[in-house]
Amino acid sequence: MTCEELKKIAGEKADLINVRRIVREQAEKLAANTGYRKQVLVCGGTGCTSSHSLQVIEQLEKSFKELGIDDVLIVKTGCFGLCALGPIMIVYPEGAFYSQMTPEHARTVAEKHLVKGGELVKELLYAETVHKDGSVIPFSEIPFYKHQMRIALRNCGVIAAESIEEAIAAGDYQALAKVLTSMTPDEVIAEIKASGLRGRGGAGFPTGLKWQFTKEAKGDIKYVCCNADEGDPGAFMDRSVLEGDPHTVLEAMTIAGYTVGAQEGYIYVRAEYPIAVERLNIAIEQSRKLGLLGKNILGSGFDFDIHVRLGAGAFVCGEETALMASIEGKRGEPRPRPPFSAQCGVFKKPTVLNNVETWANIGPILLNGSAWFSSIGTEKSKGTKVFAVGGKINNVGLVEVPMGTTLRTIVYDIGGGIPDGKAFKAAQTGGPSGGCIPAKYLDIGMDFDNLVAIGSMMGSGGLIVMDEDTCMVDIAKFYLEFTADESCGKCAPCRIGTKRLLELLTKITDGNGEPEDLDKIKELARHMKASSLCALGQSAPNPILSAMEHFGAEYEAHIYDKKCPAGVCKSLLNYYIEPDKCRGCTLCKRNCPVSAISGEVKSAHVIDTKTCIKCGQCIAHCKFGAIVKK
């Protein structure tokens, strides 16, 4: 394929994509050029397919046949971001945003809206897009999308996830064409350095510098690797990029190959992401077929190919040396550095490794220029960051905001606040390696350096919101269980340290904590941070240390008063029935496995706290909210 042929493909589908991107009035005019009266985009990402979006597509196809609709295009895309409301379906050129679709709803929309002369089905639209007076606003103007700026996710939910033609029409491979025809490797490195792009995997290392080190390393064989081993539980931005726009990653890796002098690349992806793996394999095949991977790419004489390697469920493989050992088919154990992977990486050859989201930023930077990119964000953190917002928040989903956006904007404006009117307690960033951000820092700008300054870290972008019902000792214990389980066991500080820390925390949540335990935790944490082999052990104590710093009183309550203020730690709680709320329905009594509840029909029941095993069955069955944990 030549650059001209690439342009031709881009041109053929350009209007089709533009209908989905520009304002409604223009889109309506443009739709006439595309041959399709309307386009229906249905999310085919993991979140929405888990809530049966594929059945929605099937039903649409069936209904179209029955109703004789042949001029409406159905497009299976990647993630739209608002996962809490899946399955999501958007109809263009109107930009109508239907949420929580079912096959029945799909049939209704086909019958009433998608037929010729049809009207919006307002009762099925996402409520936020319908004004009180009945008028419909474009979804890009609702709070969830209004505050976002999409660079890495620019094509997710816009293009058909399994179509290379749509990807090209949306701009993929244009940066590659530009680089191969008009830039030297040194110019590429200079541009990436000038953009200020830092690695999105967690550590925030300058990407341009990484490429430069690998280019300068001696060796005839070099490799380019993509870290798609998104191990932080609760983070799913890398998965969404791979599911929604896999070609942006292939393109960026090829650019890096040209820049550092590599002919082969590996994508190391979690086996837990079957859809992402499938789409990657499809994308690689398509790319090879068009000659965008393989020999003599775009007539430049440059050869490059990419292989996919599956992980097998080991968190430590997100660490670069462990990841590379795993690609080599070994146990995924890290090794001491130096030598760094820029000199000695996969198969002992110079290797450049970047995270999926980092790769997704490369194309736009090279197309739009470093000045554009570095104008976004804060002084030392340029561009945008994708956050996977989850936990106790209304709009669970994927958001991309300029660096420096406040936590308050993310939680309240975009995230829609905390469910059930509960109070915000903290947000955990950086997963098991990060820390918590308490309410007093809600107005801090989220960037690499600010988060480190308050004892947390950016990490890969997982952001778990916790409300007043979350116990900070319990959540620290949860993370320690995770790191103790995932410690590879190679070095003693991490292997033994995580175990001992977990024992200390369990002691506290069991009600056996002693005042000196807090000092023991700090002392042990200090040693682990100083002497663990890799980042897993070095950062494992972070969740406890930050929780102790910001929620010290909660730890003290567990130790001195033997109370769990959030009402979570079972050993520290007793169950009581509030007599004024109890109707005497006997449901709790009948469901208590140890017969700890006594009382007559229609009179208040009582729990014998000595017999009670705190299993929670009574609370689960009580219809009157009469049972409390204190």
Partner 1 sequence: MSQNLFEGTAEQMSELLKCIEAHRDEAGALMPVLHEAQHIYGYLPAEVQTIIAEELGVPLAEVYGVATFYSQFSLSPKGKHRISVCLGTACYVKGSDKILEAIEKELRISCGECTPDKKFSIDSCRCVGACGLAPVMIVDGEVYGKLSAKDVAGILDGYIKD
**Residue range at the interface with partner 1 (CB under 8 A); choices 16-24, 77-85, 196-204, 501-509:** 77-85
Does 390 contact partner 1 by CB under 8 A?
A: yes
Nearer to partner 1, 309 or 550 (CB): 309
- Binding track, positions 467-486, relative to partner 1; x by CB under 8 A: ---x----x--xx--x----
**Residue range at the interface with partner 1 (CB under 8 A); choices 124-132, 229-237, 245-253, 509-517:** 229-237
With a CB cutoff of 8 Å and minimum separation 6, the contacts of 569 are 471, 473, 474, 509, 510, 511, 558
Does 560 contact partner 1 by CB under 8 A?
A: no
In three-state form (DSSP H/G/I as H, E/B as E, the rest C), the secondary structure along 582-622 is: CCCCCHHHHHCCCCCEECCCCCCCEECCCCCCCCCHHHHHC
In sequence order, what E strands does 158-244 have? 223-228
Per-residue burial over 229-242, b if 16 or more Cβ lie within 10 Å, else e, is bbbbebbbbbbbbb
Which of 72, 142, 297, 314 is in the footprint of partner 1 by CB under 8 A? 314
Does 46 contact partner 1 by CB under 8 A?
A: yes
Nearest to 303 by CA among 259, 261, 265, 263: 263
Query: DSSP state, 114?
Result: I
Which of 354, 355, 378, 428 is in the footprint of partner 1 by CB under 8 A? 428
Query: Locate tokens 């079972």: which residue?
Result: 570
Which of 127, 289, 347, 492 is in the footprint of partner 1 by CB under 8 A? 347
Residue 185 CA, chain-centre distance (Å), reads 32
Residue 470 CA, chain-centre distance (Å), reads 21
Which of 21, 24, 51, 531 is in the footprint of partner 1 by CB under 8 A? 51
- Binding track, positions 165-184, relative to partner 1; x by CB under 8 A: --------------------
* Sheet of 89-92, strand order: 72-77, 38-43, 89-92, 96-98
Does 83 contact partner 1 by CB under 8 A?
A: yes
**Residue range at the interface with partner 1 (CB under 8 A); choices 250-258, 268-276, 294-302, 523-531:** 268-276
Question: Distance between CA 626 and CA 581 in Å, rounded?
Answer: 5
Say if CB 100 and CB 91 are below 8 A apart. Answer: no
Which of 76, 222, 239, 589 is in the footprint of partner 1 by CB under 8 A? 239
Nearer to partner 1, 84 or 170 (CB): 84
Query: Locate tokens 């960026």: which residue?
Result: 252
Question: What SS3 state is found at 304?
Answer: strand
- The minimum distance between CB 23 and partner 1, in angstroms, equals 28
Question: Distance between CA 93 and CA 267 in Å, rounded?
Answer: 36
**Residue range at the interface with partner 1 (CB under 8 A); choices 26-34, 65-73, 227-235, 371-379:** 227-235
**Residue range at the interface with partner 1 (CB under 8 A); choices 79-87, 296-304, 399-407, 581-589:** 79-87
Give residues in contact with partner 1 (CB under 8 A): 46-47, 50-51, 83-86, 230-236, 239, 271-273, 309-315, 326-333, 347, 388, 390-392, 396-397, 428, 431, 462, 464, 466, 470, 475, 478-479, 482, 488, 616, 620
